[in-house]
C-alpha cells in the first residue's frame, strides 16, 4: 500500500524538528551501529489502522540492540533526546496492534532480531531462560535438538510469536501451563531511566534459583512489567511442563437452538453456514467443542469416558470419533497445540476475506454458559449492526473463560475497516455496561478499555500514572500503551 504523497518520510515525533531528529538518529547510530538503526522511510506493506490514516501510528525508525547493555544505551539516549521509544520482542501481536507504536514517530526498539538466544534449559528443574527473540517454534525445536523429550512447552494458537513478548502481554495457551505469566519465573528489566533490575531470586547474587522460585523476597514486582510501559524486559524465565504421559484431543458438537434471524448484506447467512457445516464431519451444529485430556492412555480413556458421558446428556450433542476425521481436520491442529506443538493453522481465518485482516474482542467471563451467552449476544448485535461475520470462541482457563471474538474484515475496503472499528467500540461499551472487561485489546482501543476499569473514580489508573511518572519522568517509554499516558502527554488530546 503506497503512502500518501504529502507525508514527509520518515514521520517524526510531534513537536520535533527534522534537524533535531536527524541529530538524535546520528547519535543513536554512533551508539548501536549505523547498520542497526533503520529509518522507516519505505512504503508500508500493511494499512490496517482502521479509520485513521496509515501514517498515524507509524514509527520513525527501528533500532536493533544486541544486549541488555545496548538497551540501556538506547533508553539513556531516549531520555537525552526526549524521544518516544516502543519496545517489541518479535512484533507479531496480530489482532492487538502488531509491531506498531501508539505514538506516531516513536523509535521501535526491536529486541528480537539480535537478542534471540535460549540462554538456558534445565532438564531437571524443567525451566528455561530466554531472550526476547526466542519464538515458541525456536524453543520447541531447541528442546527437541537437545533431546529433552520429557519437556513440553505451552503454545498459543500461532507459534511464530515471542515467548517473552506473549508472556508479558499476558497471552495464553491451551495446556495446563496455558497462563504464561503464571508460568514465568524471573525477569531482567531495563527501567525507563536505564537502571537494570532482576526480579524474584534474580536479585540475590550467586543464586541458582531464579527460574524455580518466582517471588524472592518483598513485593512481587513482575506484574507491573506486563501490559504496561514501566520497563523493557530483556530476559525471562519460564517453567516447562513435564510430559504428563501423553495427551489426546477430542471433539464434540452441540446442536443448540438458533436465534440468529437477522441477516446483513455482507454476512454469510446462518442458514448457509449450517448447510455448509452439514457437509463436514462436524455436521449440522451450532457449537463445536475441542478439548484434550492428559496422562497415560489408561487414565486418558477414563477421563474421555467421563467427559463423553457428561456431554451426551445435552440433547443433540454428538461425540465425533477421531478415526472418522480426515487427517488434515482442524481437530488434529487443536490436538497438537494442546500438547505444546507450535502451529500456524489459525492464520487460515484470514482467508475469509480478500485482504483479510483481523482484530480481537477479548472479554473475560466466569466459565458459565449464561455469561458467555450475554457476551455472545453483545458480539452478535454489533456484528449484525456493522455487517460483519463473527467468529466467537470460548477458551476455558483455570477459573476464567476468554470469550475471544475474532473479527475478520477487508483491510482494502475503507467501509469494512470503519465497520470493524465501530463494532469493536460498540462491543467494548456494551460489555462494560454488563460488567465485563477485556483481558487484552488492540493498541488503538486501549484508552477505551482502560477507562472501563474505572472503579472509585479511576483509582487504579491514577495509581498506574503515579508509577509511570516516578519510573519514567520524561515519559519516553511507550507513551499510551495500555492507556497509561505519562504526565507530558496526559490530557493533551492523545487519548482516543
422 is catalytic: no
Minimum CB separation from ligand FAD for residue 364, in Å?
Answer: 13
Smallest gap from Cβ 102 to ligand FAD, in A, equals 9
361: β partners: 405
Q: Is 42 exposed, middle or buried (0-12, 13-18, 19+ CB in 10 A)?
A: exposed
Using CA atoms, how far residue 351 sits from 91, 173, 182, 272, in Å, is 21, 23, 34, 18
Q: Report how far residue 71's alpha carbon sits from residue 64's, in angstroms, rounded to the nearest whole number.
A: 9
Active site residue 440: yes
**Residue number with CB closer to ligand FAD (267 or 357):** 357
Exposure string (b/e) for 229-255, b if CB count within 10 Å is 16 or more? bbbbbbbbbbbbbebbeebbbbbbbeb
- Catalytic site residue from 402, 440, 481, 489: 440
Which of 315, 311, 240 has its CA nearest to residue 303? 311
Distance of CA 6 to the CA centre of its chain: 34
Residue with smaller CB distance to ligand FAD, 317 or 331: 331
Nearer residue to ligand FAD within complex by CB, 10 or 171: 171
- The secondary structure of residue 54, as a DSSP letter, is G
Residue found by looking up cell 455436521 in the block: 283
Beta bridge partners of 157: none
Which one from 96, 140, 294, 402 is the annotated catalytic residue?
96
> Of 11 and 236, which has the nearer Cβ to ligand FAD?
236
**Closer residue to ligand FAD, CB minimum distance, 165 or 486:** 165
Interacting residues of 361 by C-beta distance below 8 A, sequence separation 6+: 379, 404, 405, 407, 424, 427, 428, 431, 438
Specify the residue, 308 or 348, whose C-beta has the smaller distance to ligand FAD. Answer: 348
The residues that touch ligand FAD, with contacts defined as CB under 6 A, are: 87-97, 111, 132, 156-158, 161-162, 164-166, 168-169, 171-172, 232-233, 346-347, 349, 358, 481
Could you tell me the smallest distance in angstroms from the CB atom of residue 255 to ligand FAD? 26
Nearest CB to ligand FAD, comparing residues 260 and 443: 443
Cβ(111)–Cβ(67) under 8 Å? no
In this structure, are residues 105 and 14 in contact, taking their beta carbons and an 8 Å threshold? yes
Q: What share of the chain is helix, strand, coil (3-state, %, to 5)?
A: 35, 20, 45
> CB 87 → ligand FAD: shortest distance, Å?
4
Q: Which residue in 274, 395, 252, 396 sits closest to 322, CA to CA?
A: 252
Q: Is 425 in the active site?
A: no
161: buried, middle or exposed (CB in 10 Å: 19+, 13-18, 0-12)?
A: buried
Residue 394 Cβ vs ligand FAD, minimum distance, rounded to whole Å: 13
Minimum CB separation of residue 165 from ligand FAD in Å reads 3
Name the catalytic one among 148, 215, 439, 453: 439
* Minimum gap (Å) between residue 416 Cβ and ligand FAD: 17
Catalytic residue numbers?
96, 439-440
Amino acid at each position: 500500500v503506497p503512502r500518501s504523497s504529502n507525508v514527509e518520510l520518515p514521520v517524526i515525533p510531534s513537536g520535533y524538528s527534522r534537524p533535531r531528529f536527524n541529530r538524535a538518529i546520528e547519535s543513536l547510530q554512533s551508539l548501536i551501529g549505523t547498520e542497526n538503526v533503520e529509518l522507516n522511510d519505505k512504503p508500508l506493506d500493511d494499512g490496517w489502522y482502521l479509520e485513521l490514516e496509515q501514517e498515524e501510528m507509524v514509527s520513525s525508525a527501528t533500532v536493533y540492540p544486541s544486549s541488555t547493555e545496548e538497551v540501556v544505551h538506547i533508553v539513556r539516549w531516549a531520555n537525552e533526546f526526549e524521544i518516544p521509544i516502543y519496545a517489541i520482542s518479535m512484533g507479531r501481536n496480530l489482532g492487538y496492534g502488531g509491531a506498531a507504536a501508539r505514538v506516531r514517530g516513536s523509535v521501535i526498539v526491536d529486541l528480537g532480531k539480535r537478542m534471540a538466544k535460549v540462554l538456558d534449559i534445565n532438564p531437571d528443574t524443567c525451566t528455561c531462560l530466554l531472550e526476547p527473540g526466542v519464538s515458541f517454534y525456536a524453543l520447541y525445536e531447541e528442546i527437541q535438538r537437545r533431546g529433552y523429550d520429557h519437556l513440553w512447552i505451552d503454545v498459543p494458537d500461532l507459534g511464530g510469536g515471542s515467548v517473552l513478548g506473549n508472556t508479558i502481554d499476558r497471552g495464553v495457551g491451551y495446556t495446563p501451563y496455558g497462563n504464561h505469566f503464571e508460568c514465568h519465573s524471573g525477569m531482567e528489566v531495563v527501567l525507563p531511566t536505564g537502571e537494570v533490575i532482576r526480579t524474584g531470586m534474580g536479585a540475590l547474587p550467586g543464586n541458582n534459583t531464579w527460574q524455580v522460585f518466582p517471588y524472592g523476597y518483598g513485593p512481587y514486582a513482575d506484574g507491573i512489567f506486563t501490559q504496561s510501559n514501566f520497563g523493557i524486559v530483556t530476559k525471562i524465565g519460564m517453567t516447562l511442563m513435564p510430559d504428563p504421559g501423553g495427551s489426546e484431543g477430542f471433539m464434540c458438537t452441540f446442536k443448540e437452538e438458533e436465534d440468529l434471524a437477522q441477516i446483513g448484506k455482507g454476512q454469510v447467512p446462518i442458514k448457509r453456514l449450517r448447510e455448509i457445516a452439514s457437509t463436514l464431519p462436524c455436521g449440522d451444529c451450532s457449537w463445536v467443542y475441542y478439548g484434550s485430556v492428559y496422562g497415560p492412555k489408561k487414565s486418558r480413556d477414563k477421563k474421555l469416558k467421563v467427559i463423553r458421558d457428561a456431554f451426551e446428556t445435552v440433547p443433540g450433542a454428538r461425540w465425533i470419533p477421531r478415526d472418522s476425521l480426515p487427517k488434515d481436520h482442524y481437530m488434529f491442529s487443536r490436538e497438537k497445540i494442546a500438547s505444546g506443538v507450535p502451529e500456524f493453522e489459525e492464520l487460515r481465518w484470514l482467508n475469509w476475506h480478500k485482504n483479510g485482516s483481523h482484530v480481537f474482542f477479548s472479554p473475560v467471563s466466569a466459565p458459565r454458559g449464561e455469561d458467555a451467552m450475554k457476551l455472545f449476544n453483545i458480539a452478535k448485535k454489533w456484528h449484525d449492526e456493522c455487517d460483519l461475520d463473527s467468529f466467537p470462541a470460548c477458551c476455558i482457563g483455570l477459573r476464567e473463560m476468554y470469550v475471544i471474538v475474532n473479527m475478520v474484515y477487508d483491510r482494502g475496503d475503507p467501509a469494512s475497516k470503519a465497520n470493524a472499528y465501530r463494532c469493536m467500540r460498540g462491543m467494548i461499551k456494551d460489555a462494560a455496561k454488563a460488567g465485563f472487561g477485556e483481558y487484552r485489546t488492540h493498541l488503538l482501543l486501549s484508552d477505551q478499555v482502560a477507562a472501563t476499569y474505572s472503579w472509585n473514580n479511576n483509582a487504579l489508573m491514577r495509581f498506574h500514572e503515579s508509577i509511570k511518572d516516578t519510573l519514567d519522568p520524561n515519559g519516553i517509554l511507550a507513551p499510551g500503551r495500555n492507556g497509561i499516558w505519562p504526565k507530558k502527554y496526559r490530557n493533551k488530546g492523545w487519548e482516543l
